[in-house]
Amino acid sequence: MAASEVYEFVQGDTPLLVSMPHVGALVPNDILERMTLDARRLPDTDWYVHKLYDFLREMGVSTIQANYSRYVVDLNRSADGESLYPGRSVTELCPTTLFNRQPIYRQDCAPSQEEVIKRTRRYWQPYHTKLKQELARIKDHHGYALLWDAHSIRSEVPRFFDGKLPDFNWGTASGDSCDAALTEALLKTTAKDGIYSSVLNGRFKGGFITRDNGSPPDGIQAIQLELSQATYMADEETHEYCEDKANQVKTLLIELVGEMLIYKPSA
């Protein structure tokens, strides 16, 4: 399999790269035939995130987005399977349960450790190799690089958090992956109209991509946005897209990306 089949990549001319690791909906037949009917519907996909960010090319932003489902391999997990949130319920590198705890695979059909290793090499590694190459290129050209890891999730997932999730969930690995000045600018822009709720390093503090790549001392700022699907869906259970809600939140996303692009690291 060619690496280019694993992801779609567009190179821009700004210091920003936006990663969309959970938008993929492809599942190889040999995996799909072992999955339950519920899992085949791919309910935990970051639905429409690439559509919400379809303005990025015009803004000169580099983008990388996954083609394959997170059920094949989760690109926002460490290749060694280390938990992002020790002691809390999480899904694995090659998930075996849905967010609602139901099984992804039919009985005795879950991937073996050998298969997990193969999937990691085939689907996980090419995405991360390209991501790091692009960050290195950006940094070489601009002197610094910015990474925005774009996600979405249902507003209510009892397995992971109580109650309803805020609209905008920013993660900076508890401040380790992004300059506080840039983070503050993003939070201020998010809150300025009072339309959306937001939180910094709440339930979601940034996944593996943010934590592995963000290093302000080395000139790479990384931030994750986990956007509540209630901000752009008419029905989160059926994944019904709402143009009016989506256009409203997209207007803010454009402003937020603009904040990223005017950022300059302090000397």
> Using one digit for the tens of pLDDT, what is the confidence trace for 106-155?
999 999 999 999 999 999 999 999 999 999 999 999 999 999 999 999 99
Looking at residues 171-189, what average pLDDT do you find? 97
Alpha carbon distance 163, 82 (integer Å) = 27
Architecture of the 3-262 domain: 3-Layer(aba) Sandwich (3.40)
Q: What's the first-to-final CA gap in the chain, in angstroms?
A: 43
249 vs 266, higher pLDDT = 249
Q: Locate the domains of the chain by residue range.
A: 3-262
Using one digit for the tens of pLDDT, what is the confidence trace for 149-177? Answer: 999 999 999 999 999 999 999 999 999 99
Position 91 scores a pLDDT of: 83
